Amino acid sequence: MNKKKLTYLVKEKAYELGFSFVGMSKSGFLEEEAPHLERYLKNNYNGKMQYLENHFDMRLNPNLLVPGAKSVVSLLYNYYTENQQADKNAPKISMYAYGKDYHFVVKYKLKELYKYIEGLVGEIDGRVFCDSAPVLDKAWAKKSGLGWVGKHGLLINKGQGSYFFISELILDVEFEYDAPDTDHCGTCVKCIEACPTGAIIQPYVINGSKCISYFTIELKEGIPQEMKGKFDNWAFGCDACQTACPWNRFSIQHNEPEFLPHQDLLKMTANDWEDLTKEQFQEVFRKSAVKRTKYEGLKRNLNFLGFTTTSE
C-alpha cells in the first residue's frame, strides 16, 4: 500500500474512533525543543515534579522509546463541554476531570488504531502513548500540524481551541507527513493576565511550580501559605488560562459518553463540598482523574481554599 492511501485510511479510522484531529510527522530528534527543556529544568520550573528530570534524551528523541521508529502519529481528543458546576461559589474542578479518566478512554482507542494499522500493513513495531511516558506531546502535535503552542504553554488548534487530550503512536511505519502549524497568538496576552498565580512569567515561559494545577495535583506536601487567596476556588486543576483564550470561542461540545460527569458532581454546592466524606469522594470520583489526588489530597486543597471538610 502506498503512503498516501495508508495515511488517508489511518486518519479516517482515527476520526471514526472519535479523535478530532490527527497528523503525522517524521520521527527524529527535537532539536528546537532541547534548549527550552534544558532551561525549564535549570530554572527549577518543574518544582517537585522530579520525574521531568528523568529520561532527558528520551523526551527529545522518540527513537529511544521505539528503536527504528519512523513516524509519530499525533491525535487530539476533545473534552470540552458546555456543562458547568451549578454553584458559582463551590470549589472548582478542571473540565478535563469531569468524566472518566482520559488515560483509560483514549489509550483504549489508540490500541484499536494500532491494531487497525497492523491489519493494513502487517506486523509493526511501535507503542501508544497518552500522557504516560517521556514524550513531548505538544511539540509533536505542533510538528504534525495540529496547532501551535500558545503563550500559556498549551496546544491551540485554530479550528477548535485547546480543550484536547494529546496522544501519540510512535511507529516503524512511514506516512505522508503534515506541515507544522504557525503561531496565531499575535499580541494577545489574555492568558497571562488571567493566571491567578502569575505562573506565565512571560509569553511562552511557564513556571510550572507556580501553577494552580501543580499545587492541587502534583504537589504532595503542604501548599505554601503565600499562595493563600490566589486560587480563585480551584480545588483540582485550573482552566483560567484556557477560559481567557479567545481561540476557545470555537470549542465545541464533545460527544464522548465516557466524559460525562457523575450525576452528582455538577450539582454539588459549597456546603456539599464542605461535608464531603471519603465514601462520597469514592463514589463521585470513582473513575475520574481526581482520584489521583486521593481523598486526603483533595481535602487538603479544600481546606486551603477555606472549605472545612469532614474529618475522617
Pull the grid cell for residue 275.
461535608
- Can you give the pLDDT at residue 46? 95
The structure's pTM equals 0.95
pLDDT score at 309: 63
Q: What percent of the chain has pLDDT over 70?
A: 99
Amino acid identity of 98? Y
Assess whether 131 carries a catalytic annotation. yes
Which position among 87, 131, 172, 232 bears the catalytic label?
A: 131
Residue pair 42/137 in contact by the 8 Å Cβ criterion:
no
C-alpha triplet 131, 136, 138: angle, nearest 5°: 90
pLDDT given at position 87: 96
How many CA atoms are closer than 13 Å to the CA of 297, on its beta-carbon side? 18
pLDDT at 255: 95
Dihedral angle computed from the Cα positions of residues 239, 168, 175 and 63, in that order, rounded to the nearest 10 degrees: 130
At residue 138, the pLDDT reads: 97
Please report the pLDDT score of residue 311 as a whole number: 54
Beta-sheet pairing, 21-26 with 234-236? unpaired
Residue spans of the chain under pLDDT 50 = none
pLDDT number for residue 310: 59
* First-to-last C-alpha distance (Å) of the chain: 61
